[in-house]
Amino acid sequence: MKVYCFILLYMCSVANAGDKEVEEDGNRKKIIEQLTRTRTVLLDDYHLVTRQIATDVYMFRSYRTVSVIFYPVMRDVTDARFTFQSEELHLNNIGSCSPQEVIVNIKHGSYPAVNPDGYDFPKGFVDPATRGNIHTLELLSDGLNRTYSIKNPRPGNWYALVYIKWEDPRTQKVEQQGLVADCQTILYTDLQVKRESDIELIDCYNGLTLEYSQIPALFKCMSIDSTDPIGLNLTILKATNLASELSFKIQALSLPTDENYLVFCAFTPEDNNIQTITFYPHPNAWHYIYINHMNDTTKVPDCESYYLRSDAEEVDNNTVLDLMRDDKGRFFTFDYGLPTTDLQDTTSLVNITSNEVKSVRFKVNQFLDIGGSLAIEASLLMSLKYYMGYKRELKKGSLLAFTEDNQYFKAVICLDIGHTSIPLKTGHCKYNDKVKPALFVLNSTDSESIYDKTIIPFPDSGTWYLTLRLFCDKIVCPCRTSDNGTKYYVDLDVIDKDREEDSYASWNNTRQGTSDCNATVVLSVSSTSCVGGRCSNHGNCLLNTFGGLVMSFCSCSAGYGSWDCSDDSRMDSRLYMLVAVLLLTLSNLLFIFSIYVAIIRLYYTEAMMYAFTMVFSTFYHACDAPAQVAYCMVRGNILQFGDFYCGLMSFWLTLLAMSVVNDKFRSSIQLIGAIVIALLTTWNMHSFVAFLLPVAVGAGILLLSWYLDYRKSRTMRYPKSYYTIYMPLGLVLVSVGLICYAFLQTEQNYKIVHSIWHMIIALSVVFLLPDVRRNEGGNPFVPTPNSCKLPFCRVFNRSQPIAAD
């Protein structure tokens, strides 16, 4: 018998491996057949850069289920044309596959940071939409081609995030493998680009001279590693009296467009054919200049306004410091700080004065650094009294600051990629003609704003600049306020005139401020995986890889969501979770009736299996519950295997108990079934085949044994009531249970429907087990004196006296 079992085990394992190889070969053949119908249409003057022929696409659940596609784009590209074709592969012969809605997010420099599940980004996160355009394309997996063009794209690496549109899992149906169509969404994509070859190379610092007849014209030049402005001298020769107005555009890294440019102005060469246009460049980068004819210039500034501009907000003293990288040797874990020999700390102390602009820069490497989160912290270094918790000084009844000389000052910090900008006193940052809010605005007299922090998910590769500038007070009113002394200085230049005058001590109680001040800013720049290397207390920080690309993400648990698993808006209440887990666990107690009936009818092996099923199912569902109410005796995968295995074995043993076979044959096929079911459960416990195979074989043995027994004896083995009442009732219960299990379960009603499944299956055994082993007859649900033949059972038999020792 052992030899036979070993041979059967070997045959099953070989068949299992063979089935997997056949399945993989079949899927590969289907993909190849699909690709033969895909024809890339290469347009004239376009160059095919890259393609990916079969990318698996999954429904978005977290960044674990997204696919990432990498596109390299070279310089001088005028059009990047992305092609997408998505299709459904039908991997079995059941049902049909419906087209899915596929979402593609494309971004330059890093992975797109999106929340397709509708959660908000946590507090303190930089809105990814403000860092760069995220191009979004929606298509159906119907096999049709879709194209998406990006004009004049920035050179470098572009990344596409691909996933099936998110649906709330609580409303999705729980589908059993083998009962529904097995569909896999795949995506074909390629990139072809068109390059501009007729670009003349010039020197930005020596000026540009061209004839009017040569317009339109395109030029490019390389800037030096400096943040100083460039004054470009432009001379137009041979401009006639009928010459039209000309437009001047310049852009860094890529060709200028109507939306993306550093400078866009117009001039009339007939009036002044020599222009000097001043702009702030990207250090050490290519700049593209486009000069063209223009009819309507009413909404375009005059180029003469860029001639030797004198802006009060601009300063001449601009210093750039390079930060040192302190690598920690783990994924996306490193710090940046001013060069130091201190091995324990890379925090930077940046000294700034009111008559200078100081910038620090650091580099985020492509591929290696873009998969984590960049945290930037800044704080003003206050006097010792502030950190020791002293109350603020009182001089002449007025509250004063904790700075050394009772100054009021404000530090404005700007963040840019590839260039520096000029901090403004209004709390904004100016770069050429574009103005945006500053990253931080730190006030020395406001305890709520001497410190600030922001987190940037999936930082773009490139050189990042932090620009700092200090602004002093000129006239200050030292006043008490209703904020318990935390906010008390009022700068009369930016005072809120809507506030009541009673909130101030006296408008005459002012002091002369200072036009020169200095301060120290404590600056920290660090990168970690996920958010600070963790996912609050409600998730795990994991890594996902895509052909060499790596990103970190948070896998949330217990109903939490958002980028760092801190959002509990969709989480069920603790009482609701407790009721759900009690339903799933306590519903297994109905197996006590199955165990009771099996014992009184002398089915001890079956009773033991029902007991194991009850125990494993109870503790598996207790362990599989949300973390707030979960209880795990051992690892969850062990309990899960025991639950599925004992459940299938219960069906197998019940069918063999109903059949008419001798005990020797029954014990042999019980052992064979135990081995095969173990293999099936290990192969794929969720597959309907793993359930159907032992049940089908058991039902076949049952029907065959009944037929052979009836043909031999011409009588039915079991009482008539079994065939007319108990067995039909048991089959009805099993059928209802299978329908609930296979077709009616959703994530929302799982706790109820699955609990009903437990109870129905436990009760069906009571009616399906035949009462043929007891010769006394009578009520099949009431024990008889001979129901239990074990010695200790005589204690419960009152009809016989207990023997004295």
As a whole number, mean pLDDT of residues 704-708 equals 90
As a whole number, mean pLDDT of residues 680-687 equals 82
Beta bridge partners of 278: 231
As a whole number, mean pLDDT of residues 106-111 equals 93
The model's confidence at residue 796, banded by pLDDT at 50, 70 and 90, is very low
Please report, to the nearest 10 degrees, the dihedral formed by the alpha carbons of residues 345, 347, 351, 356 taken in order.
140
The CATH class for the domain spanning 42-195 reads mainly beta
Counting DSSP H helices and E strands in the chain, the numbers are 11, 37
Which pLDDT score is estimated for 472? Answer: 83
Q: Tokens 């410091």 sit at which residue?
A: 321
Q: Which helix (H) or strand (E) holds 279?
A: strand 274-279
As a whole number, mean pLDDT of residues 542-560 equals 87
Which pLDDT score is estimated for 771? Answer: 82
As a whole number, mean pLDDT of residues 85-93 equals 85
pTM: 0.79
Q: Which residues of 528-557 are buried (b: 16+ CB within 10 A; e: fewer)?
A: bbbbebebbebbebbbbeeeebbbbbbbbb
Instruction: Tell which residue, 622, 646, 617, has the closest CA to residue 632.
Output: 622
Percent share of the chain, pLDDT over 90: 34
Contact 108, 158 (CB under 8 A): yes
Which pLDDT score is estimated for 38? Answer: 60
Which pair of tokens denotes residue 620? Answer: 């598996």
750 pLDDT more than 50: yes
318-474+514-528 has the same fold as 42-195: yes
Which pLDDT score is estimated for 376? Answer: 93
As a whole number, mean pLDDT of residues 381-410 equals 59
Q: What are the structural domain ranges in the chain?
A: 42-195, 200-306, 318-474+514-528, 531-571, 574-796
The model's confidence at residue 187, banded by pLDDT at 50, 70 and 90, is very high
As a whole number, mean pLDDT of residues 782-792 equals 62
Beta bridge partners of 540: 555
763 pLDDT more than 60: yes
Least confident of 135-144, 509-518, 607-616: 509-518
Supply the mean pLDDT for the chain.
81
Three-state SS string across 305-337, please?
HHCCCCCCCCCCCEEEEECEEEEEEECCEEEEE
The model's confidence at residue 401, banded by pLDDT at 50, 70 and 90, is low
The model's confidence at residue 601, banded by pLDDT at 50, 70 and 90, is confident
As a whole number, mean pLDDT of residues 598-602 equals 87
As a whole number, mean pLDDT of residues 206-224 equals 90
The model's confidence at residue 316, banded by pLDDT at 50, 70 and 90, is low
For the domain spanning 318-474+514-528, the CATH number is: 2.60.120.680
Tell me the chain's radius of gyration from C-alpha atoms: 38
Q: Tokens 């980028």 sit at which residue?
A: 563
Question: What is the rounded CA–CA span in Å between residue 759 and residue 740?
Answer: 12
pLDDT one-digit tens code per residue, 638-681: 999 999 999 899 999 999 999 988 888 888 999 999 999 999 88
Q: Which helix (H) or strand (E) holds 211?
A: strand 208-211
pLDDT one-digit tens code per residue, 135-183: 999 999 988 889 999 999 999 999 999 999 998 877 766 666 666 777 8
Which pLDDT score is estimated for 646? Answer: 92
pLDDT one-digit tens code per residue, 277-300: 999 999 999 999 999 988 877 788
As a whole number, mean pLDDT of residues 119-124 equals 86
Listed in sequence order, the residues at least 6 apart from 99 whose beta carbon sits closer than 8 Å to its beta carbon are: 88, 140, 141, 142
